[in-house]
């Protein structure tokens, strides 16, 4: 079993925590987590792939063990998350890589692909959306905040930052909730309750509309560059619906789209299945 190293990179003064495993010189794989998690969500996946790939999984700015500067010093937008991760890949020497995108990791990773299409060797999207038909009604309160960024609409979103909401994200749509370790959602809740974290997450909820605005650009990238593409989708995801996964085939006719009988955090229950799909896909 490959050792997982826990490292920190100085990215132009921004401290980015990351997990690294595998042999230097092996095909590179960048893992990008989502809300409200961290690179800890890949704890089961990394050991299953590290014998064949050089894997790096950073914590996004404001998440996990990466720096969480106050909002006056760092604007929490998806453009800025992507800018930091872009520079992070350059600092650590990830010049050409496949990228695994999940949830918030998708608009982050797709921005990297838009900026540097020559660097992307393949994309694995695990419940990482790029089509409006993938957005469920669960987005309605957030979309209301986009239309009217009032304090009342902002405060209404605080219910999404509670531990109960995080546990629900992990367990909704899972056949056997006892298969979901409490470690992941408990750690997420710990990070979520640091001073200032709620306001940062509310800023990102507000800025998520920038991702939807970029969907046409992401789709144009897919059509133009035809990156090798694998979708591995928890089909009971309450936020990103199966039609969002199927839509990739409109722009990527050769995309491999697979559904798993689980929810949003599909790795919690199907890490081995997803690892096998990724290995087969990338080694082709």
Return the active site residues. 264
Q: Scan for tokens 């063990």, then name that residue.
A: 65
At 254, is the secondary structure helix, strand, or coil?
coil
Neighbouring-strand partners of residue 143 = none
Distance CA 73, CA 33 (A): 23
Contact 171, 180 (CB under 8 A): yes
Contact 233, 259 (CB under 8 A): yes
Neighbouring-strand partners of residue 135 = 240
Distance CA 108, CA 122 (A): 15
Closest Cα partner for 230 from 92, 103, 124? 124
Contact 246, 214 (CB under 8 A): no
- DSSP conformation letters of 132-146: GGGB-GGGHHHHHHH
The tokens describing 44, both together, are 């089961």
Distance CA 246, CA 223 (A): 15
**Four-residue CA torsion sign, 145, 146, 147, 149:** positive
At 47, is the secondary structure helix, strand, or coil?
helix
Interacting residues of 137 by C-beta distance below 8 A, sequence separation 6+: none
Neighbouring-strand partners of residue 9 = 16
């Amino acid at each position: 079993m490959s050792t997982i190293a826990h490292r920190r990179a100085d990215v132009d003064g921004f401290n980015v925590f990351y997990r690294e495993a595998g042999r230097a010189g092996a095909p590179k794989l960048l893992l990008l987590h989502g809300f409200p998690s961290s690179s800890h969500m890949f704890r089961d996946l990394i050991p299953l792939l590290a014998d064949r790939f050089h894997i790096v999984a950073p914590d996004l700015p404001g998440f996990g063990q990466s720096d969480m500067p106050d909002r006056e010093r760092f604007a929490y937008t998806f453009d800025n998350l992507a800018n930091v991760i872009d520079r992070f890949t350059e600092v650590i020497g990830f010049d050409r890589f496949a990228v695994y995108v999940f949830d918030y990791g998708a608009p982050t990773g797709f921005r990297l692909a838009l900026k540097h299409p020559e660097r992307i060797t393949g994309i694995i999207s695990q419940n990482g959306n790029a089509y409006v038909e993938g957005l469920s009604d669960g987005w309605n309160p957030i979309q209301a905040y986009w239309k009217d960024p009032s304090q009342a609409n902002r405060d209404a979103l605080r219910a999404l930052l509670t531990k109960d909401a995080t546990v629900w994200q992990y367990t909704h749509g899972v056949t056997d909730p006892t298969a979901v370790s409490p470690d992941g959602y408990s750690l997420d809740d710990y990070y979520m309750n640091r001073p200032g974290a709620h306001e940062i997450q509310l800023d990102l909820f507000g800025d998520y509309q920038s991702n939807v605005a970029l969907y046409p650009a992401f789709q144009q990238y897919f059509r133009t560059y035809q990156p090798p593409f694998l979708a591995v989708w928890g089909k009971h995801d309450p936020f990103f619906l199966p039609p969002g996964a199927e839509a990739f085939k409109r722009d990527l006719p050769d995309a491999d789209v697979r559904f798993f009988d689980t929810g949003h955090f599909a790795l919690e229950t199907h890490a081995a299945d997803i690892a096998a799909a990724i290995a087969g896909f990338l080694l082709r």
